[in-house]
Amino acid sequence: MRRFYIWFDLAIYLAVYGYCLRQHLPGWQYLAGMFVGAVGFALWLTARLQIGDSFSARPRARQLVTTGLYSKIRNPIYVFSTIGLIGICAAMRWYVFGAVYVGFLSLVQWKRAKAEAAVLEAAFGDEYRKYRAQTWL
């Protein structure tokens, strides 16, 4: 099931990104937004691959991933998916939709991150607290 999620997310991202590429709006804002969207997506995909089998739809404590992007950021999937979304919304000039959706998504991700942190702290205790003190977000 975990592999399904990454392919599903990948398909949705490619469909949206492909749509945006076909629109090709004039100006630097489009180019900058599409670049930020691509970088955000690439880093999101890297984080998804680095978390490996520890990824799950519901918070679970399989192992504590502390390497790669996870050595600096506790929730790189959330951070980079949001950056990618902001880039795409800026490129397409979807300001209202982008603001509402990014706000909603940030709230959902913040709640998920809190739940995940509680699960990881309960499972890994001091090891997780030390990791949390050394990483951002």
Q: Answer yes or no: pTM beyond 0.75.
A: yes
- Please enumerate in sequence order all residues whose Cβ is within 8 A of that of 16, keeping only pairs 6 or more positions apart, or say none: 88
Whether the pLDDT of residue 1 is over 70: the answer is no
Residue 15 CB burial class (10 angstroms; 0-12, 13-18, ≥19)? exposed
Whether 46 contacts 69, CB under 8 Å:
yes
Residue 39 token pair: 């970088």
Whether the pLDDT of residue 105 is over 70: the answer is yes
Tell me the pLDDT band of 2, cut-offs 50, 70 and 90: low
Mean pLDDT of all residues belonging to the chain:
92
pLDDT tens digits for range 48-57: 989 988 887 7
Q: Which of 49-63, 64-78, 98-112 has the lowest mean pLDDT?
A: 49-63
